[in-house]
Structure 1
Amino acid sequence: MSRRIVPEAIAREPWHVILPLFALNTFGSVVLHSAAGGHMQPWALLHEIHFAVFLVMALIISRLPRELFRRLAFPGYIVLVVLLLIVEVAGKVSGGSQRWLNLGFMQLQPSELMKPGIILILAHFYDNLPPTMTRHWRSLVSAGALVGVPALLVMLQPDLGTGLAICAGAAVVIFLAGPPLWWFISAGAAAAAIAPIAFFTLLHDYQRKRVLTFLDPESDPLGTGYHITQSKIAIGSGGFFGKGFGNGSQSHLDYLPEAHTDFAFATMAEEWGLLGGLFVLAVFMWLFRWGLQVARRAPDRFSMLLAAGMTFTIFFYMAINMMMVMGLAPVVGIPLPFISHGGSALMTNMICVGVIMAVDRWSKRGSSLGL
């Protein structure tokens, strides 16, 4: 009976994922509406338009065949590296960083697109690699080169947060591909040994200040510790039920910096309290559970690495942003998916969702064919 009412093309879409994401994005628009002083412009309306456009894009991606993903992996990687090089030469400078390309209708941040791009190229790389070669050190050198080039270009912008996100997503794919565990233990030990040297020699002054501020934000509450101090005040003052929609003093009185981007979660928590935070977490947990289930049911190695890597990419956004606004991680400028304003970040996350949908479709098609 339902098929007579709802067309088959609409009924077979993954509404169990689309509807929660729509609810989360709409909630984000409500937060941005409040952050703008009760106006849809300049953030809330654009947030909804971006979501609608990128949802269509995700649904198109979900229809693409597996072979097309394989064919586009290397050319797509090359295009993104070239875009990163163009950013170095002619990118827009904002906030002391050179990260954006002006496309007219939006500011494109190619480093954002490299997050799913690095997942795709590594999934393709390990899919073509014989299983016995996965445990050979030469495979790690090749994978490291694929990761190192874009990560270095991003960190030169400078954008340490996005560079680390690219490396983290790559590390997950490499780990799931099945190399020896001692490689990761050794890499962790080496990173711990190099970290103090890198802190004093490789990081910019403002990056070192962010780390020191994270360790002791109260040491300079009106200077380098201002962002995180105001963010914690906003979150704590929200209590369980929040102050109510439009009643957030930290954001409305301009105490909270970047209330519509990096610290949008703090804006939300002040007005909607713990209940609002639990809603946001519940939707994200639903999304991650679905993504990992898709990865587990994936029909082949390429699909499994692709779905798991894309799921972790969204998780990294969420985890780092929430830890950052609560003072559990240094401020690195990573927005909260579907809540914070930002077209490039939203596009990246919807690409990840579309790819996971595609893997889910491949799995179901294989099951229906008895494969």
Structure 2
Amino acid sequence: MAMRMCVLGGGLAGSLLGWRLAAAGVAVDLWSPPGTADATAASGGLVRAFEPDPTLFRLATESLAELAADPDLRRAAGYRRTGSVYLLRADRVTPAVAARLAAAGPDGPRPGPAALLTGSPLRCADDDVVAVREREAGYLSPDALRRYAHTLVARHGGTVVPAAAVAVEPGRDGVTVHGPAARRHRYDLVVLAAGPWTGSVLARSGLDPQPLRTKLIQYQVHPCAGPRPPAFVDETTGLYGRPYSPGAVLLGVPSRHWDVDPAARRPVPELVAETVRAARLRLPGLDLGRPHRTVVAVDGYAPAPYLSLRTVPGTEDRLRTFAGGSGGAAKLALAATAHAARSLLAGTPTRAEPRRRPALPDAGLSTEGT
């Protein structure tokens, strides 16, 4: 008998996981509440291979390789190749990091002194800062990729349920999902991928909310004059950004605002000021105007800064969480969901043989607002 699975949460991670499972022949429901102003809708979508952390490096490299190999994915996600620059202190380039960079080959990330940056408006005179540059990197629209994943779930025989789970109730032979209007749905296995709402769903269900915390994410869109940077991250100041629309740039810095209610998020003026100060230091030739858009979201974080499946204690592996984004899950989600799907499918009877993914019609998807 085929196993019925459910993915609760229609963000990028949950939607891609639902597609992976449906494409493998699993009878799967993807619960995706409509109109959610979530981290996927707000994400800046930076995509690159390089990360100092070995697990993040591997997942980012695998994700970028899948994106590069699949024109349908690139087109659906509105992928833009801009190249990438990653600035970090030289002591962060440990022998292990250097070995991974060397193994990536001449077409992969290449390190060099940041003081010698050429062909980029980024400026750094510090001799102890390294710039890792990538040609095959850029940004995409996580929201557009999410919508594409929803179409693929349906085309592979799965169901996209436009609702949010109220609570979950693990039992001896499955998991009951309590939906709106007191409706109940029974599944053999449930993956809770609700981002910042993951902990609250577990708490309402009387289950261990796990070491998941919420954190505010904020960036601004500034009008500008002068040469714009490629997609970039600067660990030394926290500044990150990418081109936005013509004559505009997306810029932000990490926040330190933890345990934020996702339903009560609001802009933090101090983050705007910190972003502008860092931009004046690293992008001195860029004439920034006052931001005409400030984007605020909340995401769910775990101690390990990447997406992975975790078993909820006392549920006999019938209920898992899939959360723990680093705030940059767009660059990891393809690989992380592929690994998660393989883990869930191990020994699982499926509905039918996987069907080939259909070609994407020209939808004219825009990357505005990411």
TM-score class normalised by the smaller sequence:
under 0.3
Structure holding more helix per residue: 1
TM-score, length-normalised on structure 2? 0.26
